[in-house]
Amino acid sequence: MSDSEKAALLGASMPYAPTPTSISISTPAAGHDRGRRFPQAIAHRGYRATCPENTMLAFTRAVAAGADALETDVHLSRDGVVVLSHDASLARCFGRRQKVAECTWSELSTLRTLRAPHEPMARLTDLLRYMATPGLEHLWVLLDIKQDDPIDDLIRLMALAIREVAPSPSVAWKERIVLGCWTAACLAPCDRHLPDFAISHIGYDLKYARQFLAVPHVSFNLLQSILMGGAGHAFLRDARAAARPVFVWTVNERAMMRWAIRHRLDAVVTDDPPVFRDVCCRYDDDDDDSPADRLSWRLLLVVWCLRWAACVWSVVSGWVGLGPPPVDRAWVEMRRAREERAVMAVGVGVMAGAMPGAAAGAGAGPGAMMTAGPGDDGHGIRLGIL
């Protein structure tokens, strides 16, 4: 059974795969409004263009500015608290020559960002409590799992932090949290500690990313420049054929945003969500060859350099043994077998619900898993894996 057939069976009955429902924006065209589906706006480390990154101020302002989702990074403190920081070091953001892992939470909580207005560091639980606020049920988050901490410990403590915060009554956390994994080393720990949560492969190597097409229902969050060429277009075709969402990072130039819209990506990770929404509002399908779509020589050079840097690093790291571990095929087959059993169980429940007298048993069995996810309102995301 193909991924699309499984999605057809399960998609209406339970949160299934990380499939963002693109935001719908009325686009001015020929003197009248015209509805169109656009990529979602994922706020990179919050509203980083105007606020200190990965702070609660950055997250709240991103949501106020219209972001559909948040992206943030997780690390561990010395005493096992999951904190939100892109860097393993405190130097760039907090001016302290120590690593996050060398400090306890009581020490980290006293720090303030170098960038005004000098905000404190946030914990994962702080962000989840904010997301549990009534009225924010549509909001989801992509957690970038950094490789500096022991992976199993980090994901285990993430699971504890998630369980510590009560979700919104109508939406479970597994429908609002995506686990961002750079390497296959994250897959087994995610399956062990957060088995029902969606996974997105974060990366800049198309050859390595292709390995994750074998893993059921993994989405992709890729460096935009590696998709801007023949190999990238081929990857997009294959990802769409497998019903896999594709996000791109980090997109701050208007021409690059238009490229993402034109190629119908599922989401754009950006430092400036309002700019992306403005680009969406101004976008017209009839203007694909407009000057706004032409990349400047500076942007073309940046794209070329990034693509070659990613390629060179992939080759060199493989030669010297620093490359990421391959996807474990045996583990993938185990997952697929478990998924097939779950699909069959749901199919039996659906058929049983169609039989005479099924109403008397409503609410029992696999059919009871039929719940509306936040994606149903056109602004959220259906998340989760079996």
- pTM confidence score: 0.82
CA distances from 44 to 205, 209, 211, 302, 305 (A): 20, 21, 26, 20, 22
pLDDT at 295: 73
Give yes or no for residue 25 having a pLDDT over 60: no
Amino acid at 251: V
pLDDT at 115: 98
pLDDT in tens, 250-302: 999 999 999 999 999 999 999 999 999 999 999 987 666 566 566 777 777 87
Report the range of poorest mean pLDDT among 130-144, 240-254, 263-277, 321-335. 321-335
Task: Give me the long-range contacts of 110-113 (CB less than 8 A, separation at least 24).
Answer: 113/52, 113/55
Round the average pLDDT of the chain to a whole number and report it.
83
Give yes or no for residue 39 having a pLDDT over 90: yes
Give yes or no for residue 89 having a pLDDT over 80: yes
Q: Please, which pLDDT band fits residue 30 given cuts at 50, 70 and 90?
A: very low
Q: Please, which pLDDT band fits residue 377 given cuts at 50, 70 and 90?
A: very low
Between 386 and 71, whose confidence is greater?
71
Q: Please, which pLDDT band fits residue 11 given cuts at 50, 70 and 90?
A: very low
pLDDT at 44: 98
pLDDT at 356: 53
Separation CA 39–CA 42 (nearest Å): 9
Mean pLDDT for 46-59 is 98
- Helix, strand, coil % over all residues of the chain, rounded to 5: 45, 20, 35
Q: Is 269:288 a contact under the CB 8 Å cutoff?
A: no
- For residues 277, 278, 279 and 281, what is the CA-based torsion angle, rounded to 10 degrees? 90
Report the range of poorest mean pLDDT among 131-140, 272-281, 305-314, 356-365. 356-365
pLDDT at 35: 56
pLDDT at 284: 84
Among candidate residues 186, 246, 184, 253, the one with its CA nearest the CA of residue 221? 246
Mean pLDDT for 76-101 is 98
pLDDT at 351: 67
pLDDT at 304: 77
Separation CA 129–CA 162 (nearest Å): 10
Mean pLDDT for 218-235 is 96
What is the C-alpha end-to-end distance of the chain, expressed in Å?
15
Q: Is 293:287 a contact under the CB 8 Å cutoff?
A: yes
